Amino acid sequence: MKLTPLQLKKVRKVYGLTFGELGALLNVTDAHLCNIEKGKRRLTDRLMLRLSHELELTDEKLERINSIYDEFKKGEFDVSSNR
């Protein structure tokens, strides 16, 4: 399974994880994940495998995550923006 930086962001947002929380799960820094989402760093195969394993991602699950994300406006996933 290949993930794009945008798909990584969608997974993180749908799961309600911060950069720090997902980084801790994947054993990378929050800055590293932020740079991947911004396209400044590459999402390695090893990191994709770790993410897939930790979140039990399948192609079908990824499709559903994309659908869920796309149903909502970007800002609606950020609880702080609603206050």
Domain count, the chain: 1
The answer to whether residue 20 sits within a structural domain is: yes
Average pLDDT of the chain is 89
Q: What is the tens place of the pLDDT at every residue in 16-46?
A: 999 999 999 999 999 999 999 999 999 999 9
Query: What is the CATH number for 16?
Result: 1.10.260.40
Mean pLDDT of 1-16: 93
82 has pLDDT over 50? no
pLDDT at 1: 77
The answer to whether residue 29 sits within a structural domain is: yes
Tell me the three state secondary structure of residue 63: helix
DSSP, residue by residue, 5-42? HHHHHHHHHHTT--HHHHHHHHTS-HHHHHHHHTTSS-
pLDDT at 81: 47
Task: State if pTM tops 0.85.
Answer: no
Whole-angstrom Cα distance, residue 69 to residue 31? 23
